[in-house]
Structure formats: structure tokens, C-alpha cells
Amino acid sequence: MKKGVIILCLLLIHNLLISQTLVDTTKKWNTMGISEMGFEFGSELIRFGKDTTVGATIYKKVLRTTNEIQPDWASYGLIRETSDKKIYYRTDTSNQEYLLYDFGLTIDDTVTPTALDSYNSGENISLRSYPLIVRSIDSILVGGTLRKQLHLGQDFMGETDQWVEGMGSRSGMLHCNFGFVGGDTYKLMCFYQNDSLFWLNPSYTDCFFIESIIEETSHEVTFSINPDPVTDVSIISIKNTIGNKSMKLEIFSRTGEVIESMGVKDGMEINKKNFIPGIYLFKLTIGSDRIKAIKVSIL
């Protein structure tokens, strides 16, 4: 009986250690970029690929896509994990490596990690480093297992980020809340292992572009595209508009690029032939007030 209990405990410990390995090809991370105005400007998926040797050091390839269907993974750097729970990242073989995480830290330890400071790809990847202090340590439930969570902050800003062992930053696998562009920030939306959803950001209900419904006036305005998904021609519906204020429609791609900016009115058509199939963000502005933004699928 005792032997059976010991074996069971060893198996549980073994599974826990495996689950807390960060650099693992079975994992994927979905990160959302959030503008300083509060609207989502891009969503990306990160995963790790095959081993690559640089000198005598073995890395795994970092792969990235901004397409929810995931057909086109592009190289996004190299990453490795050490036995003492440090994670190192480099943009390519010609550039130096940087410390991304250190899960061996304790309360009041200081660390100067480096994280992505941009949503760009390829040669435009931008990095930023900043000293952080471990404010506290607790645990968080991920995939049915409690994981160690480090709360980190800056001297003048308090807590700015959380690192979860085996999952990474809650600002995204390669991002951190001290690394931002202007007032832009990043949020980890979803964490997957073996294609199963292990963690969903509790502030959201979806992993990619979220329907961002923002009411900034006391007037009720309804805004929709029918039918959605757009398979041929769909109609824009805008009801209960505010007086005679002008209305503008901006259409954003998944990477935050403005595809179209135009005047709009109730009953206008959206034609499939004018778009590449994908998911877009339609943002309606009435007068100087941003009223509502919706996710629209075009097939």
C-alpha cells in the first residue's frame, strides 16, 4: 500500500514538473495588443518549433502568426530554458540573447528582464529592459493545476506584471507591461497546451479580437453588420443615432492596419469582394465620440 502511494506521489510530482516547463513545443499563447485608447489593435499567436543550435547552445525557434486560422507561421526569434528556471530570448542568431524570465526569484529580489516593446515582426522587433522587484508570490490555477505566480513591480509604479511558472507573463509570452509603445499595452488572452485551452483571461470571453462594445454617451446606439459572417453583400445597420452628427466608419485588419476610413450611414453595403477573407474590427464614430466597435468575419 505504501509503495503504491509513493509511486502515485512521484507520478504527480513528475507531471507537475513537466507542466511547469515553459519552453515546450506543445504550448501556444495568444496575446492581444491594447491601445492607449482602450481598443484592441492586434492579436497574435506564439508557439515554439524545432531545435536550433547557435554555437554550442541549443534554442527552440519562436514562431508567430497574426492569423486566427494559423496557416502562416513566421520566424520570430529563438528561445531557451535553463535548469535553474531562467528563460533567454534572442531575435536571431546574429544578435545577443536577453533574460526574459527568472522563475527562481524570491520576494524582494530584483531582476532586469527584457521583453518585446512592439507588435512588429521580422527586422522591426523592438526590445526594452527595465529593473523589476518581486513584490509577492502566490499561485494561480492553470489547466487544473496550481502554478507559482510572481508579482513584479517598479519602484515608481507599483505592481506592473505577473509571471506564471510554465505559462509566462500575463502580458503575453514575449511581452511585459513595462514594455509598451506610447500608452499601448499587451494582455495574454489564452494559453493552450496540446491544443487544449488551459487558461482564458478572466476579463474576456474570446481568444482573438473581442467584440469591444463601448458606450461613451448616454445615448443608446445599435450598430451591426447583417449577415455576419459576410459571404457576399452585407448591410450596415445603425439605429438611434444622435441628432445630425456625422458618422465615420474605420475598418481595421487583425494587425491594426486601417483598411478603410469613410463616412457611413444606415443601410450601406459591405461587399465581400473588397476584402481578403479574415476577421476585421469595424469601429463606428459619431461626432467626436467613439461609440462602438464590433468584430466582423468576412469569408
Q: What is the pLDDT of residues 243-264, one digit of tens each?
A: 677 888 988 776 566 788 899 9
Number of other residues whose CB lies within 10 A of the CB of residue 113: 24
Name the DSSP letter for residue 124.
Answer: G
Note down pLDDT in tens along the chain; length 299 residues: 555 545 444 444 444 444 489 999 999 999 887 765 555 667 888 999 999 999 999 999 999 988 766 667 889 999 999 999 999 999 988 889 999 999 999 999 999 999 987 776 656 678 888 899 999 999 999 988 899 999 999 876 678 899 999 999 999 999 877 645 455 678 898 999 988 889 988 877 667 654 443 444 445 678 889 998 899 999 999 887 666 778 889 887 765 667 888 999 899 999 999 998 887 888 888 876 666 778 888 88
Per-residue pLDDT at 62: 96
Per-residue pLDDT at 214: 41
What does the buried/exposed string (b/e) look like for 15-31 if buried means 16 or more CB atoms within 10 Å of the residue's CB? eeeebbebbbeebbbbb
Query: Cα separations (Å) of 55 from 58, 62, 122?
Result: 8, 18, 22
DSSP-assigned beta bridge partners for residue 188:
31
What sign for the dihedral angle of Cα 214, 278, 41, 259? negative
> Which contacts of 199-205 are long-range, i.e. CB under 8 A and separated by 24 or more positions?
199/142, 199/143, 199/167, 201/170, 204/32
Number of other residues whose CB lies within 10 A of the CB of residue 123: 7
Residue 100 to residue 89: CA distance in whole angstroms: 6
Residue 33 to residue 236: CA distance in whole angstroms: 27
Q: What is the pLDDT of residues 193-226, one digit of tens each?
A: 988 889 988 877 667 654 443 444 445 678 889 9
Instruction: Give the domain ranges of the chain.
Output: 19-200, 222-298
Residue 25 to residue 45: CA distance in whole angstroms: 13
- The burial of 293, by beta-carbon neighbours within 10 Å (0-12 exposed, 13-18 middle, 19 or more buried), is given as buried
Contact 107, 149 (CB under 8 A): no
Contact 45, 65 (CB under 8 A): yes
Per-residue pLDDT at 211: 41
- The whole-model pTM stands at 0.65
DSSP-assigned beta bridge partners for residue 63:
47, 75
CATH fold for domain 222-298: Immunoglobulin-like (2.60.40)
Residue 166 to residue 186: CA distance in whole angstroms: 19
DSSP-assigned beta bridge partners for residue 28:
47, 192
